[in-house]
Amino acid sequence: MTYSTALYQPSLLELAQAGNCQALTYWMNSLLSPQGVQIQVQPAPDQFFKILIDFRRPRRREACLHLREQLTRFICYRLWTLNSDAIQGVRLVARMTGDPKLLWQTSVRINSPAGARRRHRRRQQTASQMRFQLLRSLFMSSFTLAGFLIGYWLLHGAIGRALEQDEPSAPALTDSLSGVELPNGQIIRIPPPPSQTDFTVPKQAEGTVVSQVDLPNAEKLIALTFDNGPDPEITPQILDILRQYQVQATFFMSGVKIEQQPDLARRIVAERHAVGNRGWNWLSAADQNIDAEHEVKDTAKLIEETTGAKTALFRPSTGDINSPLVNYAKRHHQAVILWSIDSQDPLVAAPILLDNVLRNAQPGRIVLLHDGLNHGSVTPTASATVQALPQMITALQNQGYQFVTMPQLLQRQHPQSEASPDPNGSDSRAPAASPKASPKASPTASPETSPGSNLKPDAAPAAPALQKPSPEKTSSEKTSSEKTSGDKRQIPSRKQPIALVPAPG
């Protein structure tokens, strides 16, 4: 089935992104007219658009001058979110209605990623032209050097053929050196690469629902997550962008998509991204016949068989934490990962998507993005996520944020503490302490009551009452020990700890 594009009409944002002055004027007036500011955009040959600012409401001249910096930032930020290749900068000219004198005028360059790519291509063209001119000059003026190189190449070939006739041919190199025997009898053994990657979560996060985390010292960490993939068109573009900016993310994949694109699933893991379980199919909240074991367990098994990675991360299709899938995942010690920033990328254009993320960015939050659409939807020719992702990464990095995967984000909140050895050692004569169960130690509270709450470790159980044995009993045990055994290690000294027993009753 084919679709006709004869009746296709571009949207207002698409026209503004292409540099249409009327679309830019209408878009900016829709934002500033309620504030009493009228905008008129005029074209310019050097892609520096001239913007006439007219203060309509009766204002004092000092108040308009005071708004200069704030209004300039607002206009430049909105133009920056367009990420347009046709807008290099603006010239702002402000005046008041009925006053022939200008309030102020200024010029600002818009450094968007699209403009940076354009300047990079221009520098590459200039560099290639300079290289061509240099090579042409060297070739035209250095015939002697060319003759020397040709003679050296002929001599090197003759010497190589002579050496091949005198010495036996060396064994051909293979892709793997494992098992090659050296002259002294040693054998090279190169360990194979790890065949399995574990995306586990801390014990405190197992069986809980996480939408954001509280980080110690307010670390500026944020996690990018992608759902409904892998998609053959969108996922490779997202992976290329993440590799270009050296950013790690988390991909929640479905079983159906993994069966269709196993190579893309393996590439995600090979490029050091974390993977999570999205379920076998995309299920709506109205679905009644849900096989939780098939959706969760079979998908996790397929992820491990395809990519060699084990994951303890699960995300429900619609974000419903009361579904049977969430209950099954929690019973099997998996962390249910939701989100705290919804980019709404399947519904909005790239500038609005970018504004949704940057406006709500805070340390420890989880961003919801998509590298594929739900089953039955038409795949778009250009994804808004792909368009906005470079600018999103650049803006958050300029604000000091670092991108981490979901296991890394949970590990920062719940650092694993190594088990310290018992300083008292083990003594067969001392009875084992049996502390009473504390009433505060309870299983993790159900996250359905507060899905947005952060993970908190349970309260530590209260220590039991301990009592030292009487000095008379200790001395009698010491005397009997000295009479029955001559081993000095059985005699407790002051430097050795005294065994403690629970208090009676």
For residue 290, which amino acid is it? I
In CATH, the architecture of 198-413 is Alpha-Beta Barrel (3.20)
* pLDDT range class, residue 286, cuts 50, 70, 90: low
pLDDT at 3 (0 to 100)? 60
415 burial level (CB within 10 Å; 0-12, 13-18, 19+)? exposed
Round to whole Å and give the CA distance between 243 and 403. 13
Compute the distance between CA of residue 379 and CA of residue 375 in angstroms, rounded to an integer. Answer: 10
Local confidence band at 144 (pLDDT 50, 70, 90 cut-offs): confident
Please state the φ and ψ torsions of residue 13, each to the nearest 5 degrees. -70, -35
Which residue from 341, 387, 385 is spatially nearest to 366, judged by alpha carbons? Answer: 341
For the cut 60, the answer to whether the pLDDT of residue 318 exceeds it is: yes
| 230 preceded by a cis bond (ω within 30 of 0) | yes
Q: Which is the catalytic residue, given 46, 227, 320, 458?
A: 227
Say yes or no to pLDDT of 420 above 50: no
Neighbouring residues of 320: CB distance < 8 A, sequence distance ≥ 6: 285, 326
pLDDT of amino acid 198: 84
pLDDT at 353 over 90: yes
Residue 456, token pair as written in the block: 């908190």
Give pLDDT, residue 9.
82
Pair of tokens at residue 428 = 């067969």
d(CA 79, CA 86): 11
CA distances (Å), origin 264, targets 147, 237, 257, 338: 50, 11, 10, 24
Is 66 tagged catalytic?
Answer: no
The model's pLDDT over 11-20, given as tens digits with 9 standing for 90+, comes to: 888 888 888 9
Length of the chain: 505
Best-predicted range by mean pLDDT (147-156, 194-203, 297-306): 297-306
Task: Say which residue the tokens 């998507």 belong to.
Answer: 353
Tokens of residue 469, six digits: 């044995």
Is residue 489's pLDDT more than 70? no
| Pairwise CA distance, residues 349 & 357, whole Å | 13
Q: 449-480, pLDDT tens digit by residue? A: 333 434 433 433 444 444 444 444 444 444 44
User: For residues 51 and 43, what is the distance between their CA atoms, to the nearest angstrom?
Assistant: 9
Q: Is a pLDDT exceeding 60 seen at residue 430?
A: no
Residue with tokens 């509280």: 214
Nearest Cα to 212, choosing from 325, 367, 319?
367
Is-catalytic flag, 414?
A: no
Note whether 279 and 301 are within 8 A (CB).
no
The DSSP bridge pattern shows strands 102-109 and 466-467 to be unpaired
Q: What is the pLDDT of residue 11?
A: 86
Where do you find CATH 3.30.300 in the chain? 12-114
Residue 267 CB partners (closer than 8 Å, separation 6+): 236, 239
Structure tokens given for 206 = 């197992």
pLDDT tens for 213-265 read: 988 888 899 999 999 889 999 999 999 999 999 999 999 999 999 999 999 99
Contact 393, 260 (CB under 8 A): no
Domain 12-114 class in CATH: alpha beta
Cβ–Cβ under 8 Å, residues 413 and 213: yes
The answer on pLDDT for 492 being more than 60 is: no
**Which residue do the tokens 């055994």 mark?**
485
Whole-angstrom distance, CA of residue 299 vs CA of residue 159: 61
Contacts of 249 (CB under 8 A, 6+ apart): 223, 224, 225, 226, 242, 273, 274, 403, 405
CA distance 168 to 214: 67
Show the DSSP H helices in 404-492 as ranges. 406-413, 471-484
Let me know: does 414 contact 206? Beta carbons within 8 Å. Answer: no
Which of 318-322, 365-369, 466-470 is least confident? 466-470
pTM of the model: 0.56
Amino acid identity of 39? I
pLDDT of 65 > 50? The answer is yes
- Which residues, in sequence order, are CB contacts of 213 under 8 Å at separation 6+? 364, 409, 410, 412, 413, 454, 455
Residue 119, CA atoms < 13 Å, CB-side half-sphere: 10
Pick from 303, 274, 288, 298: nearest CA to 403: 274
Q: How confident is the model at residue 2 (pLDDT cuts 50, 70, 90)?
A: low
In our burial notation (b when 16+ CB lie closer than 10 A, e otherwise), range 305-344 reads ebbebebbbbbbbebebebbbbebbbebebbbbbbbbebe
Examine the pLDDT at 174 and tell me if it is beyond 60.
no
pLDDT on residue 339: 95
CATH 3.20.20.370: which residues of the chain?
A: 198-413
Looking at every residue in the chain, the average pLDDT score rounds to 76
pLDDT at 182: 53
Tokens of 12: 């207002």
**Which of 156, 370, 375, 422 is an active site residue?**
370
